[in-house]
């Protein structure tokens, strides 16, 4: 059979304050088109459908709409699990009814080892779980790591393996050997959750969610589909998309999802960044992380850059700022007011103030002092 | 056909800080038993299934469990709408899938005039709506009141009426002529929402939610089922339950839901309330509103009463307190410290302090003054 593997939709996610619902809705339409064009037999969604356990009504509307379209209108069987960003309880609403139309949504560990059989494939849907839930389900208080838990759950699955079937695991965890990006919360990809890839050898394919880069796993058949969109600057060079897996021909193809508005890095000196031949290459609606090469201060730099790149999400000085210590200015607080002025002027304008300017400044300082005494 | 009419479950509701989930789960089990015993052909739920648009995971678990049991396990068709306490968007999750098992959940006005036909009855499910939504749906900016909107929507329904069928409206609004209790938010039962009962004459039965007392409507066939439990002190004398409506024999029977723990008022003098023959009549787990008849102050009265009535939800002085003005004490702030003491002592103990006590108090006041000066 042929199935599409996606994960980490994170519906409701914002990018440095920008709402991404337009881009998400667009990506979901493109995902649907791939499923139709590729004539897949099913769609696997490996967790983190929502970005939050308590999604907004708009997010609920988008997810319900997408699932309804894919399952009820287009007729694709769906195989889905909850991720660590989803509320298992909220996401499971309706799940018992969904199965009438081959929409399998597992949010509880109790059902992980129940295979779902479809066109010669046994799918095992293992939702994201906490160690405490696994201890409880397996009745073993000695379990300490996700690796131990998964090993035990996989052994339960193996007992249900049928000869002549291919076996696919759908999971949401950090497989050891994977790379990670910034948009997964760091505390969530720690050691506790690391699961050894060797334990997953018994499966013909492992459809994972959790890490957002589809190249995160180096394994041939343990794959992260990657997130729906670029959700952090560290993902700018990542291509987002979905896997299309054919279990008969044993081929795995990555199909790109071109974003409506991209997330990209622009790098250069301020004077170059504001040149038409440079900024005109970047669509106004793209999200831009600016890597500024200048070292000198630039007044109101963010607002000035936003005229050319309206959706700046980050501004970094990649070469650092002019180092005051090297200019011989070690203790700003010890400088006289006039010396402070001269230092500031030079930092900002790039040269020393002339005599006339110094006189004006001295007069101004004198006026302020007099006013202060006459109050 | 025979159907059960319930509404206003308000799952997640608290009663003066007390969690009612145990009582709600119990009432839902009793409701199920009535449906089974009465062999109803369907269950109507007229809105406010949840108490909040953003229900807790525990509330989601309870509602999903109850709906699954009634529909998937017991096989009752369900006809439900959203109320003003529900989030239409969240509640509608799964609704398109539910219909495969005759679970009709309408949360949008757009579907109100689509009849659901079942055993010779046409059901019209009209969810709670804001005037703005009705304006939008009906394409008429001149609409101003709920009454006008309902009139228009009912006329759309009438166009769909089939001869030979009975017609039932399921709605969630304030029908004019009804009585109200305290647990509906006052602003929600105002004039804007009032709908004239005469407009509903064309239906054989109108299954309403919104008001919590099942006697709120005096009409023969426009009925509030009342809430699942007593959700305010004003409902203590109300019997909670569900209607069982038989459209063939045209009979309407009210079936009580006896609460696991009741909400009740106890009234009396403090000395009587703490007598065993009185407090032993009230189960410890019942929720008690105390109407205290005493007029004199009683030290630590709440904590003392809680020893006999552990779940006090309200304490009222029904005869008022002793009126200080009548005691000749008009301006407390003008009294000397000693006079304040004497007044307080008399109010509290019921008699004047004796000479010895006054001396002790004078000495104490003197000590405090000295300390203040020597600091």
Nearest CA in chain B to A69: B96
Inter-chain CB proximity B92 and A64 less than 8 Å: yes
CA dist., res. A247 & res. A165, Å (int)? 10
Give the span between the Cα atoms of B62 and B53, in whole angstroms: 15
CB contact under 8 A, A60 and B103: no
Q: Which domains does chain B have, with CATH numbers?
A: 2-256 (3.60.21.10), 263-317 (no CATH), 329-374 (no CATH)
Query: Per residue in B177-224, pLDDT tens?
Result: 655 556 665 444 544 568 888 889 899 999 999 999 998 888 889 999
Give pLDDT tens digits for B50-86.
999 999 999 999 999 999 999 999 999 999 999 999 9
Going by their DSSP bridges, the two strands A78-81 and A42-46 should be labelled as parallel
Of A57, A72, A97, the CB nearest to B89: A57
Cβ-nearest to A57 among B60, B90, B98: B90
Residues of A with CB under 8 A from a CB of B: 53-54, 57, 60-61, 64, 68, 72, 87, 89-90, 92-98, 100-101, 103
Q: Which residue of B has its CA nearest to A73?
A: B96
Cβ contact A72–B96 (<8 Å):
yes
Measured between CA atoms, the residue of chain A closest to residue B95 is A94
pLDDT at A82: 96
Mean pLDDT of A318-342: 73
For residues A52 and A20, is the Cβ–Cβ distance under 8 A?
no
* CB-nearest partner of B94 from A53, A87, A97: A97
Tell me which residue in B60, B98, B101 faces A89 most closely, judged by beta carbons: B60
In A, which residues are within 8 Å of B100 by CB distance? Answer: 97, 100-101
Query: Could you identify the residue written with the tokens 């201060």?
Result: A297
> For residue A94, what is the nearest residue in chain B, using CA coordinates?
B94
- Given an 8 Å threshold on Cβ–Cβ distance, is B94 in contact with A94? yes
Local confidence band at B324 (pLDDT 50, 70, 90 cut-offs) = low
CA distance A191 to chain B (A): 28
Long-range CB pairs of A356-363 (<8 Å, 24+ gap) are A362/A338
Q: Which residue has the higher pLDDT, A77 or B371?
A: A77
* A306-329 mean pLDDT: 80
Interface test with A, best of B12, B61, B94 (most A CBs within 10 A): B94
ipTM rounded to 2 decimals? 0.75
Q: Mean of the per-residue pLDDT values for chain A? A: 90
Of A53, A54, A64, the CB nearest to B93: A64
- Tell me which chain B residues have a C-beta less than 8 angstroms from the C-beta of A92: 64
Q: What is the pLDDT of residue A308?
A: 95
Lowest mean pLDDT among A144-148, A343-347, B172-176: A343-347
């Amino acid at each position: 059979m042929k199935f599409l593997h996606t994960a980490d939709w994170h519906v409701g996610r914002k990018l440095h304050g920008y709402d991404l619902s337009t881009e998400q809705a667009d990506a979901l339409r493109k995902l649907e088109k791939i499923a139709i064009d590729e004539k897949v037999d099913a769609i696997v969604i490996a967790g983190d459908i929502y970005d939050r356990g308590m999604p907004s009504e708009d997010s609920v509307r988008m997810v319900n709409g997408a699932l309804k379209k894919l399952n009820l209108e287009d007729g694709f069987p769906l195989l889905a699990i909850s991720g660590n960003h989803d509320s298992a309880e909220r996401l499971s609403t309706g799940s018992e009814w969904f199965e009438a139309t081959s929409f399998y949504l597992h949010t509880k560990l109790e059902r992980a080892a129940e295979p779902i059989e479809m066109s010669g494939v046994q799918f095992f849907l293992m939702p994201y779980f906490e160690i405490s839930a696994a201890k409880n389900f397996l009745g073993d208080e000695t379990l300490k790591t996700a690796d131990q838990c998964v090993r035990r759950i996989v052994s339960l699955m193996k007992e249900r393996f049928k000869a002549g079937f291919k076996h696919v695991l759908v999971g949401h965890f950090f497989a050891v050997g994977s790379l990670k990006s910034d948009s997964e919360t760091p505390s969530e990809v720690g050691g506790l959750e690391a699961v050894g890839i060797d334990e997953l050898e018994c499966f013909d394919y492992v459809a994972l969610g959790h890490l957002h880069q589809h190249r995160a796993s180096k394994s041939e058949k343990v794959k992260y589909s990657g997130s729906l969109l670029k959700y952090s600057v560290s993902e700018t060079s990542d291509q987002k998309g979905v896997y299309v897996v054919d279990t008969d021909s044993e081929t795995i193809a990555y199909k790109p999802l071109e974003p409506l508005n991209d997330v990209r890095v622009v790098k250069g000196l301020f004077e170059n960044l504001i040149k038409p031949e440079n900024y005109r290459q970047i669509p106004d609606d793209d999200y831009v992380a600016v890597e500024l090469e200048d070292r000198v201060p630039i007044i109101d730099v963010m607002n000035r850059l936003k005229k050319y790149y309206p959706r700046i999400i980050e501004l970094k000085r990649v070469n650092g700022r002019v180092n005051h210590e090297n200019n011989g200015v070690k203790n700003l607080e010890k400088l006289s007011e006039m010396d402070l002025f001269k230092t500031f002027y030079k930092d900002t304008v790039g040269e020393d103030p002339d005599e006339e300017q110094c006189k004006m400044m001295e007069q101004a300082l004198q006026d302020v002092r007099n006013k202060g005494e006459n109050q």
